[in-house]
C-alpha cells in the first residue's frame, strides 16, 4: 500500500482528494501548509505528494525544491487553481512529475497517481539493482575488525553527518566512502571524488568551487566545481591531509555556510553536499604540527571510521 501526502490550505480540496485516493486503498496524510508537510515527510515514509502552489508560510514551488533536494526519489504532483503555462513549465523543470489544474478531475488524479507511483517503483528497483551490482566493490573480510567497519557504514549511511575515514594506502577508504553513499538517501544523486593530493594548490579552488568565464587566462567558459556537481549527493575529499592550509580554510567556510562562490564570481551559490573525507595521515598529529586546521578536523571528524590494515586482520588473508 502506497502512502500519499496532500498539501493544500483548502480543507475542501484536502478532503475531496483524500476521499478519492482512500477509495483506491491508498494511505493518505494531509497538511494545511508546506511547513507541516515537510514535518510529515521527516517522520513518515511517503511515496507521492500532491502539492498546492499557493500556500501560506512557504510557497509550493519553494517547497518543491526542498523536497526534491532532501527526498530525490519522491514524486511530486503540483496542483493549482491559478495555473498558467509558465508556472507549469517551471514546476516540471524543478522536478515535478506533473501539474494539475483545479477543479481536479477524478480520472486525471487517479491516472497521474498510478503513473507517478509506477515511476517511483522503477526508480527504487533501479537503485536496488545498482546497489547489488556495487557489492563487487565491497570490502572483503569476515573478521571482527571489518565487521565493526561494516556496522559503522550502516549507521553512518542513515545520517547526513560528515565522515572522516582513516587508514593506510590500499586499505579501501574509497570503497567505504562509496558503500556509505550507496546505502544513503543520496544514492540517486552524484558521488563526486576529489583527490586533494593530485591537484596543484593553484588550481584547487577552481576545481572545488568552479569559476566564471574570464576569471583567469584559461577560463574561456564558466565551469561548475566539485561542490556544485555533488549538490544533493556526496562529495568525497580523498587525501585531505595533503590539502594546503589556504584551501583548508576555504573548504571550512563552504562546510559552515553550505554556500560557495565560483572563482571570479560574485554570486553566492547554495550547495547541499554530504562530505566524506579520507586520509592516510594522523590528522591529530598534523593539527599539533600546525599543518592541518583543528577547526576543520573537528568539522570532518563527526563520524570517524578507521580501516585496519591487513596485518591487523590476518584471518581475512585466505579470502583475498
Among 45-59, 74-88, 244-258, 262-276, the range scoring the smallest mean pLDDT is 74-88
Query: Distance (Å, rounded) from C-alpha 273 to C-alpha 161?
Result: 10
Query: Distance (Å, rounded) from C-alpha 161 to C-alpha 276?
Result: 9
**229-255 average pLDDT score:** 93
Query: Distance (Å, rounded) from C-alpha 305 to C-alpha 316?
Result: 19
Phi, psi (rounded to 5 degrees) for 277? -115, 155
Total count of domains within the chain = 2
Tell me which of 103, 131, 159 is where a domain ends: 131
Please tell me whether residues 174 and 143 are part of one structural domain. Answer: yes
Distances in whole angstroms, Cα of residue 242 to Cα of each of 174, 199, 238, 268, 291: 16, 10, 9, 27, 9
Query: Distance (Å, rounded) from C-alpha 49 to C-alpha 74?
Result: 8
**What grid cell was written down for 177?**
566512502
Tell me which of 131, 154, 188 is where a domain ends: 131
Please tell me whether residues 259 and 292 are part of one structural domain. Answer: yes
Q: What is the CATH number of the domain that holds 33?
A: 3.40.50.2300
Q: In which band, very low, low, confident or very high, does the pLDDT at 93 lie, cut at 50, 70 and 90?
A: confident
Which pLDDT score is estimated for 120?
84
Which of helix, strand or coil describes residue 319? Answer: helix
Please tell me whether residues 190 and 126 are part of one structural domain. Answer: no
| Strand locations in 112-267 (E) | 163-166, 191-195, 210-211, 223-224, 234-238, 259-260
Please tell me whether residues 92 and 224 are part of one structural domain. Answer: no
pLDDT tens for each residue of 7-55: 999 999 999 999 999 999 999 999 999 999 999 998 888 999 999 999 9
More confident call, 160 vs 139:
160
Query: Distance (Å, rounded) from C-alpha 294 to C-alpha 313?
Result: 31
- Which stretch of DSSP H or E encloses residue 100? strand 98-101
Name residue 30's beta-bridge partners.
6
Question: Is the peptide bond between 45 and the residue preceding it cis, with omega within 30 degrees of 0?
Answer: no
Spatial CB neighbours of 187, under 8 Å, sequence gap ≥ 6: 127, 130, 131, 181
Spatial CB neighbours of 4, under 8 Å, sequence gap ≥ 6: 21, 26, 27, 28, 29, 46, 47, 48, 49, 50, 113
Q: What is the CATH number of the domain that holds 231?
A: 3.40.50.300
Please tell me whether residues 203 and 175 are part of one structural domain. Answer: yes
Please tell me whether residues 101 and 233 are part of one structural domain. Answer: no
Please tell me whether residues 178 and 292 are part of one structural domain. Answer: yes
Please tell me whether residues 159 and 282 are part of one structural domain. Answer: yes
Please tell me whether residues 93 and 174 are part of one structural domain. Answer: no
Q: Which of 51, 95, 105 is nearest to 73 (CA)?
A: 95
Tell me which of 82, 104, 131 is where a domain ends: 131
Q: Which of 7, 41, 11, 6 is nearest to 26 (CA)?
A: 6
Q: Assess contact for 264 and 211: CB atoms under 8 A.
A: yes
Q: In which band, very low, low, confident or very high, does the pLDDT at 288 lie, cut at 50, 70 and 90?
A: very high
Please tell me whether residues 145 and 279 are part of one structural domain. Answer: yes
Please tell me whether residues 151 and 204 are part of one structural domain. Answer: yes
Q: In which band, very low, low, confident or very high, does the pLDDT at 68 lie, cut at 50, 70 and 90?
A: confident
Q: What is the pTM of this model?
A: 0.58
Structural domain containing residue 307: 138-319
**What grid cell was written down for 53?**
502552489
**What grid cell was written down for 149?**
567497519
**291-295 average pLDDT score:** 96
Please tell me whether residues 80 and 105 are part of one structural domain. Answer: yes
Amino acid at each position: 500500500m502506497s502512502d500519499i501526502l496532500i498539501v493544500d490550505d483548502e480543507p475542501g480540496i484536502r478532503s475531496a482528494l483524500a476521499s478519492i485516493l482512500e477509495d483506491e486503498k491508498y494511505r493518505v496524510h494531509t497538511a494545511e501548509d508546506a511547513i507541516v508537510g515537510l514535518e510529515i515527510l521527516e517522520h513518515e515514509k511517503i511515496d507521492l505528494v500532491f502539492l498546492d502552489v499557493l500556500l501560506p508560510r512557504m510557497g509550493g514551488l519553494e517547497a518543491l525544491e526542498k523536497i526534491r533536494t532532501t527526498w530525490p526519489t519522491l514524486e511530486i504532483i503540483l496542483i493549482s487553481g491559478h495555473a498558467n503555462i509558465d508556472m507549469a513549465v517551471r514546476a516540471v523543470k524543478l522536478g515535478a512529475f506533473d501539474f494539475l489544474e483545479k477543479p481536479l478531475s477524478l480520472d486525471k488524479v487517479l491516472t497521474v497517481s498510478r503513473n507517478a507511483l509506477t515511476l517511483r517503483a522503477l526508480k527504487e528497483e533501479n537503485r536496488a539493482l545498482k546497489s547489488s551490482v556495487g557489492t563487487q566493490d565491497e570490502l572483503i573480510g569476515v573478521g571482527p575488525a571489518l565487521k565493526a567497519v561494516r556496522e559503522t557504514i550502516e549507521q553512518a549511511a542513515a545520517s547526513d553527518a560528515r565522515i572522516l575515514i582513516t587508514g593506510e594506502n590500499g586499505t579501501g577508504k574509497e570503497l567505504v566512502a562509496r558503500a556509505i553513499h550507496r546505502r544513503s538517501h543520496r544514492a540517486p544523486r552524484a558521488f563526486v571524488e576529489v583527490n586533494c593530493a593530485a591537484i596543484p594548490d593553484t588550481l584547487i579552488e577552481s576545481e572545488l568551487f568552479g569559476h566564471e568565464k574570464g576569471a583567469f587566462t584559461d577560463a574561456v567558459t564558466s565551469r561548475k566545481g566539485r561542490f556544485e556537481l555533488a549538490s544533493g549527493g556526496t562529495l568525497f575529499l580523498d587525501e585531505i591531509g595533503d590539502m594546503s592550509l589556504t584551501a583548508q580554510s576555504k573548504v571550512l567556510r563552504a562546510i559552515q555556510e553550505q554556500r560557495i562562490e565560483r572563482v571570479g564570481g560574485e554570486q553566492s551559490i547554495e550547495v547541499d553536499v554530504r562530505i566524506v573525507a579520507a586520509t592516510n595521515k594522523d590528522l591529530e598529529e598534523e593539527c599539533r604540527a600546525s599543518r592541518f586546521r583543528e577547526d576543520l578536523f573537528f568539522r570532518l571528524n563527526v563520524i570517524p571510521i578507521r580501516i585496519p590494515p591487513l596485518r591487523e586482520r590476518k584471518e581475512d588473508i585466505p579470502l583475498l
